[in-house]
Every structure is written in C-alpha cells, then in structure tokens.
C-alpha cells in the first residue's frame, strides 16, 4: 500500500482531493476501519467530503484489489489496506480487535474436488476467533 496513489494514477484513476484523503486515511494506521470511521477521519481533513464518496471510493479500491473488505460480525464491513500480502485474520470475540496473521499451508488445498460441488472457488477467507491478550484475563 506504499505508493498507492502512484499505482492508481498509472491505471488512469482520476485523482481528486477526496480520493487522496481516503487513501491517506487507509494508509495511515494499519487498523481495519469501518466505512463510517474512514469517513469520520477523512472529514477531519476535508470537512465537506460526503459519505457517498467514501463508500464509492472504498468500493473502487476493493474492486481494484488495493483494499480487502472484511465482514466480521454482520455489522459494518471493515477495510483492510494490507491487500498486497495474502493473509488471514485473528478476531477478538469480545472487543472486535482484528490482527493480520500469515499462517502456513494453503487452505485451498484443503478443499478436495469432491467437496467443491461444482463451485468455481476463487478465494478463501480464514478467521480465527478467540480472545486477545487483554480480553482473555
């Protein structure tokens, strides 16, 4: 996610102040923010930015593979700027904290053809649920 803006411009992405701010918010902390959290942080720098724009921009970034959408608990989707290196998630069931992990092995190989029921599988998402050190007590 380092030179996101440069990569996007090369691919003919129209660079606007709003998009720049959204990209910078995502690039800032490597936290997994919800769309409204992204909007709130973007609005600190660009107060007139609208929610629709943030949603549109996030959808664009997901579509271009620069950001991964993570839906944890059926509540708001969260956006993971660390899309370059494939990874999975460690989720705290109490406080909602998400951490990236890089497990060994390939989960796709754990799905034998006899179990794919004619699906054309393109991605696998693995979520480890438990308690983070602070919540385990």
Residue 122 touches which member of its own copies, DNA, none, C-beta under 5-8 Å by kind: its own copies
From 14-22, 25-33, 53-61, 96-104, give the range in contact with its own copies by CB under 8 A: 96-104
CA atoms within 13 A on the CB side of 103: 13
Q: How far is the CB of 88 from its own copies (least distance, A)?
A: 8
Strand pairing of 33-34 and 68-70?
unpaired
Q: How far is the CB of 104 from its own copies (least distance, A)?
A: 6
Of its own copies, DNA, none, which one sits near residue 49, judging by CB under 5 to 8 A according to partner kind? DNA
Q: What are the residues binding DNA (CB under 7 A)?
A: 9, 13-19, 34-36, 46, 48-53, 55-57, 59, 74-77
| Residues 90 and 130 sit within 8 Å (Cβ to Cβ) | yes
**Distance of alpha carbon 137 from alpha carbon 135, whole angstroms:** 5
Identify whether the C-beta of residue 97 lies closer than 8 Å to the C-beta of residue 59: no
Asked if 118 interacts with its own copies (CB under 8 A), we say yes
Query: Is 38:58 a contact under the CB 8 Å cutoff?
Result: yes
Q: Report the C-alpha gap between 22 and 49 in whole angstroms.
A: 10
Between 11 and 102, whose beta carbon lies closer to DNA?
11
Question: Is residue 94 a contact residue for its own copies (CB under 8 A)?
Answer: no
């Amino acid at each position: 996610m380092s030179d996101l803006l440069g990569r996007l411009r090369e691919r003919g992405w129209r660079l606007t102040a709003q998009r720049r701010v959204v990209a910078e918010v995502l690039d800032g902390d490597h936290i997994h923010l919800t769309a409204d959290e992204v909007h709130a942080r973007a609005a600190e720098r660009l107060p007139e930015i609208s929610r629709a724009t943030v949603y549109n921009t996030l959808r664009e970034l997901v579509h271009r593979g620069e950001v991964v959408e993570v839906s944890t608990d059926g509540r708001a989707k969260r956006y993971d700027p660390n899309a370059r290196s494939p990874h999975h998630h460690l989720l705290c069931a109490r406080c909602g904290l998400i951490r990236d992990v890089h497990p060994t092995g390939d989960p796709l190989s754990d799905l034998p053809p006899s179990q794919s029921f004619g699906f054309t599988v393109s991605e696998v998402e693995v979520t480890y649920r438990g308690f983070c050190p602070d919540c385990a007590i």
